[in-house]
Amino acid sequence: MYLHGDSLIDEQAMAKIENIVSKRITRYPLQYILSESWFYGRCFYVNESVMIPTPETELLCKAAIGFCETNKMQRPRILDIGTGSGVIAVTLAGELIDTEITAIDICQAALDVAKKNAAKLSPEKTISFLKSDLFESLNNTKKFDLVLSNPPYITEEEYLSVPPEVKADPKIAITSGSDGLDAIKVILKKAPDYLAVNGRIMFEIGHKQSEKISKLVESDSRYSSISILKDLNDIDRIVILSCDK
């Protein structure tokens, strides 16, 4: 209206606007209404089969890209656990010169969305998509330089009070047991088996989970270091782990 204040809005456009507003006024996410969500400078297709990507996950991508670039890694092998709409896999494929990326998800509908985004946003790059419940369908003879994940980490109790926009996300993508750590515990237990020498495990965590996760890591002798990055709200958000090999 600011750009075209002297023009009348035609009936078709007005009907579309009214439809968008009628859905959004119920707190239904705008990203699902428009079937798009921006992430790391790219416009991703999304639908109700995938979680709407959040800015916090951009920090995970930035950390992974920084690790690869600082260590001058040639064709890093990357595993993206719970790829959802594919934002992590597609972003790293687009930001790094050459990669070998495997993206897994338990939900076939989510994988279909991720494949669509890969074809649209990084058609020249190869990303292997695999249906898998965490590590279940992977062969541990293949090692990765980076194991990445934005796992579900909301507790069942927290889920009861999250905003309507968050409840629109697939519940399987955001909740993980009574303490929110079910998926993270599996990652901590099994990820070292898939990690190459000098590789890193990086994943996103929820509010007030860093202390519990640090204790889990300290009790596992395979881990040699842990770093935790804060998000823009000064909340512990990204865990970075290395392992003794």
Query: 5 in a domain, yes or no?
Result: no
Query: 1 in a domain, yes or no?
Result: no
pTM above 0.75, yes or no: yes
Question: How many domains does one find in the chain?
Answer: 1
DSSP-H helix ranges across the chain: 11-24, 30-34, 55-70, 87-95, 108-121, 156-159, 164-167, 171-174, 182-190, 210-218
Query: 3 in a domain, yes or no?
Result: no
- One digit per residue, the tens of pLDDT, for the chain of length 245 reads 778 788 888 889 889 999 999 999 999 999 999 999 999 999 999 999 999 999 999 999 999 999 999 999 999 999 999 999 999 999 999 999 999 999 999 999 999 999 999 999 998 888 999 999 999 999 889 999 999 999 999 999 999 999 999 999 999 999 999 999 999 999 999 999 999 999 999 999 998 999 999 999 999 999 999 999 999 999 999 999 999 85
- Structural domain of residue 78, as residue ranges? 11-243
Local structure of residue 3 (DSSP, 8 states): T
Query: 217 in a domain, yes or no?
Result: yes
CATH number, domain of 197, equals 3.40.50.150
